[in-house]
Structures are given as structure tokens and as C-alpha cells.
């Protein structure tokens, strides 16, 4: 064969295989709106009240200073929360306390013995809403958590989770920076057309026994047509970017210390599909660009049916995945722009 399966002729991409990656994110590629400011509260309570009562659509400014918050924030549709140069929201209580469920006994451990907040929900919880924006100030921390305890072991986290878009559509986050979180930002559970432009994770906490300072600094699960761009994870985490049942999503311009791309498996046939992973620097070691986590009973690999372009570790393009699974429809990966004709493909 003289050319790739992705091409109808040499250099001519087949639209059946190569998607239009520009029609994704907020309103399928529309610019993020500049929503007018409707409230400039000066105190913590005024800020919390304004989120719920200020005119909609409208932007509420976070007061300058470090505001101690002891509740979960639920923004309504049309609300934008915008940080200022000296703004910071500080939580000392985790979701395991803030959303304690007496039926769970101690508030956050489920019947399987694992934390229910290890992989979902945030202290800023955007739930089944649209046109909500979280706009941090460039170069400044948006959300900071308690530093006095080390990061918990895998699946035992108590819920220092910064943000969640759950069941949302046409929302965004910009310049969103998290310090000392168990988890950073979730885009989850039937969300559509969410855009993240600028996400940073850092930590001053003691790592857990495996050397990790967080579980999921960014998770994109059970969603479609979402964009995550310009990401910097400054400390080692368990999974730097996790995707699960993500359809037509873009993950781009990511920097990691010792990166893991976790492609979570769930039910057979419900995989990560038609996603683009591009301009990703996994750091010096790059622990695992091809991780297929999740339930081991499912034989499918999570990395099938996606495009990987310019994914690097130690400054060099990654090699092909270890083909440990056989139920793969197709995986392709140009090694870099200079060797764009060298595709890695596998078909049934």
C-alpha cells in the first residue's frame, strides 16, 4: 500500500477517519464570551450571596484576598465567577465533610471501601447548567486547599476537589489554577461542549507512598465535543489526564513532570473515540502515555480510535503502544511533523 489508511491518496486525508478537530468545545468552536460584571462584592458572604442572586447572565468578581469558604458553591446557569489579581478561594474542609452522607458511615467511603470523591465532584460544582464560566487570574492560584495533611493513597482521597462540570453544556474555565487538591477539574457525566483554556495544578503537600500529590488533576469522562488546552501539571500525580468514554474531545498543549495519559476502560464498546491528543510533553520519564486503566475485566484497550500527534517524553516522540490487547479497531499516531507519513495503525 502506497499510503496510510487515513489517506484517500498520499497527503490527502480521508474525512471518514480524520475528523474536523476545530468544531469542538464551547458552542462547537465559538469564542468564549466576555460576560459583563454585575456584582463586585467586598466580603465573603456578599460574594456567596451574589453568585445566587446577582442578575443573570452576569459576572461576579471574587473579592481580593484569601476567602475561607466552608461550603460547596453551586453556580446557576449564566453565572461567571471571575478572580482578580489578589483573589483566592481557600477550603479547609473536604467534600467528605461538606457533602457528608450519613448512609455512608463516615461521610465519604462507599460500600467498596473506596472514597466516593476520588473520581468525581468539586467544591465548585457546576451541575446541569449552561453558560457558566470559571475565570481565574493569569499566573495566580484560584483554589487552594489545606496543606497540613499528606495526599491520601489511591482511591482513599477525602475530597479536596476543585471544580466539576457535571451534566453541563456550553460552559468554560480559563486560567484555572489549583493548589494542593486531591483532584483538579472534572468534566464529567454527560457534559457537552465544555472548553478549558488554561489549567494549572501545583502542590506543597507531602506526596503519598507512591510519590503522587494528586489523583486526577484533569479528568474528561463520559462527555463529548470538549476541549482542554494549555495545561501545566507542576507536580507528579497519579493520572495527569484521564479520559473515559470521551467522544470527539481535544487534549492539547499539556506539560507534565512524569506524565500518565490514562485511557479508562468501562463497558465493552464504550471507549474513548475520535479524540485528538496533541502537543503533549510527558516530562523526562513519561511513565505511561498508553495507560488503559479502569475495570480490568474489559479486554478492550482505551487507546483505540484516536489521533496522537506530537506526544513526547524526554524531548523525543513516543513510540508505539505495547499491543497487549487484540480487540482494537484502529490506533494511529504520526511521530511528529517531520515524519508525518509514518503512521502507526492496526485494524481488525
Range of the domain at 141: 18-225
Instruction: Give the confidence band of 256 by pLDDT, cuts at 50, 70, 90.
Output: very high
Higher pLDDT, 267 or 163: 163
pLDDT at 260: 92
pLDDT at 64: 96
pLDDT at 18: 67
Instruction: Enter the DSSP assignment of 22.
Output: T
How many independent structural domains does the chain possess? 1
pLDDT at 4: 53
Query: Residues 287-307: what's their mean pLDDT?
Result: 69
330 located within any domain = no
238 located within any domain = no
Please list the residues that pair with 245 across neighbouring strands.
none
CA–CA distances in Å: residue 7 to residues 4, 16, 117, 158:
5, 9, 44, 48
Cell output for 288: 505511561
pLDDT at 298: 56
22 located within any domain = yes
Q: Is the pLDDT of residue 16 over 70?
A: no
Residues 334, 311: Cα–Cα separation, whole Å: 9
CATH number for the domain that contains residue 36: 2.160.20
pLDDT at 104: 47
pLDDT at 336: 43
Specify which of 90-99, 223-232, 325-334 reaches the highest per-range mean pLDDT: 223-232
**Closest CA relative to residue 38, chosen from 52, 21, 58, 9:** 58
**Closest CA relative to residue 176, chosen from 298, 89, 54, 236:** 89
pLDDT at 203: 94
CA–CA distances in Å: residue 324 to residues 169, 231, 259, 274:
36, 30, 21, 21
pLDDT at 295: 63
62 located within any domain = yes
Three-state SS for 52? helix
Q: Is the pLDDT of residue 2 over 60?
A: no
pLDDT at 267: 53
**Residue in the block written with cell 484502529:** 330
Asked whether 176 and 142 are in contact (CB, 8 A), the reply is yes
Give the up-direction half-sphere exposure of residue 230: CA atoms within 13 A in the CB hemisphere. Answer: 11
Mean confidence (pLDDT) of the chain: 83
284 located within any domain = no
- Structure pTM? 0.88
Residues 232, 279: Cα–Cα separation, whole Å: 12
For 15, other C-beta atoms within 10 Å of its C-beta total 9
Query: Residues 172-185: what's their mean pLDDT?
Result: 96
Going by C-beta distance under 8 Å and a sequence separation of 6 or more, which residues neighbour residue 1? Answer: none
59 located within any domain = yes
Please list the residues that pair with 82 across neighbouring strands.
61, 135
245 located within any domain = no
Query: Residues 201-221: what's their mean pLDDT?
Result: 91
For 106, other C-beta atoms within 10 Å of its C-beta total 11
327 located within any domain = no
Amino acid at each position: 500500500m502506497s499510503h496510510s489508511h487515513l489517506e484517500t491518496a498520499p497527503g490527502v486525508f480521508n474525512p471518514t477517519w480524520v475528523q474536523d478537530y476545530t468544531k469542538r468545545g464551547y458552542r462547537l468552536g465559538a469564542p468564549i464570551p466576555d460576560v459583563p460584571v454585575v456584582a463586585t462584592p467586598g466580603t465573603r458572604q456578599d460574594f456567596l450571596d451574589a453568585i445566587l442572586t446577582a442578575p443573570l447572565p452576569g459576572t461576579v468578581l471574587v473579592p481580593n484576598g484569601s476567602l475561607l469558604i466552608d461550603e460547596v458553591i453551586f453556580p446557576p446557569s449564566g453565572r461567571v465567577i471571575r478572580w482578580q489579581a489578589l483573589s483566592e478561594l481557600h477550603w479547609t474542609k473536604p467534600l467528605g465533610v461538606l457533602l457528608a452522607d450519613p448512609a455512608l458511615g463516615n461521610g465519604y467511603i462507599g460500600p467498596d471501601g473506596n472514597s466516593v470523591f476520588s473520581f468525581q465532584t468539586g467544591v465548585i460544582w457546576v451541575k446541569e447548567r449552561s453558560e457558566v464560566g470559571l475565570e481565574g487570574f493569569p499566573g495566580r492560584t484560584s483554589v487552594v486547599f489545606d496543606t497540613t495533611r499528606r495526599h491520601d493513597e489511591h482511591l482513599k482521597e477525602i475530597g479536596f476537589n476543585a471544580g466539576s462540570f457535571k451534566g453541563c453544556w456550553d460552559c468554560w474555565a480559563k486560567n484555572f489554577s489549583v493548589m494542593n487538591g486531591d483532584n483538579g477539574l472534572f468534566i464529567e457525566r454527560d457534559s457537552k461542549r465544555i472548553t478549558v483554556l488554561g489549567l494549572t495544578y501545583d502542590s506543597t503537600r507531602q506526596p503519598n507512598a507512591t510519590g503522587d500529590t494528586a489523583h486526577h488533576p484533569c479528568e474528561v469522562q463520559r462527555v463529548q465535543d470538549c476541549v482542554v488546552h494549555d495545561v501545566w501539571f507542576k507536580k507528579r500525580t497519579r493520572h495527569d489526564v484521564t479520559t473515559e468514554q470521551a467522544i470527539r474531545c481535544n487534549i492539547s498543549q499539556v506539560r507534565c513532570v512524569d506524565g500518565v495519559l490514562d485511557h479508562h476502560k468501562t463497558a465493552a464498546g464504550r471507549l474513548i473515540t475520535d479524540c485528538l491528543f496533541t502537543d503533549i510533553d510527558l516530562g523526562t520519564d513519561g511513565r505511561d502515555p498508553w495507560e488503559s486503566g479502569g475495570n480490568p475485566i474489559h479486554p478492550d484497550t482505551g487507546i483505540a480510535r484516536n489521533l496522537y500527534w506530537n506526544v513526547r517524553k524526554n524531548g523525543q516522540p513516543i513510540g508505539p503502544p505495547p499491543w497487549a490487547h487484540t480487540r482494537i479497531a484502529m490506533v494511529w499516531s504520526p511521530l511528529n511533523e517531520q515524519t508525518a507519513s509514518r503512521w502507526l495503525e492496526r485494524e481488525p
